[in-house]
Amino acid sequence: QVRLVESGGGLVQAGGSLRLSCAASGSIFVINRMGWYRRAPGKQRELVATITSGGTIYYGDSVKGRFTISRENAKNTVYLQMNSRKPEDTAVYYCNGIYQDLDYWGQGTQVTVSS
């Protein structure tokens, strides 16, 4: 069983920066792929960024050039550095992990960008 716990959400002004963290716990080895998704009010869930244990990274089009994903395999922790925030980045951000072909999700953390 994998448990994912996010931290770092909050309120930030447009143009500001924020860093999210997600730590995985449980009787596990290195999680294959970790990443971030978000759901804005009234919208469908959107992929933000993913990173594999080997370092392959994928970004959603809306965050390319502004967000940076990274991870520490030894800690099974993934980070999301969000720069140049826009009001449309306001959403609940969810951490995701794929381990042994199963999907795991965190509880979500609210990020609000004020204009």
Residues 64-105 pLDDT 10s: 999 999 999 999 999 999 998 899 999 999 999 999 999 999
Residue 30: what pLDDT? 86
- Strands of 29-108, DSSP E: 33-39, 46-52, 57-59, 67-72, 77-82, 91-99, 102-105
pLDDT at 37 over 90: yes
Which residues have a Cβ under 8 Å from the Cβ of 92 and sit 6 or more positions away? 38, 39, 108, 109, 110, 111
Residue 43: what pLDDT? 95
Residue 55: what pLDDT? 94
Give 3-state DSSP helix, strand, coil % of the chain, rounded to 5. Answer: 5, 55, 40
pLDDT digit string, tens, across residues 10-34: 998 998 899 999 999 887 888 899 9
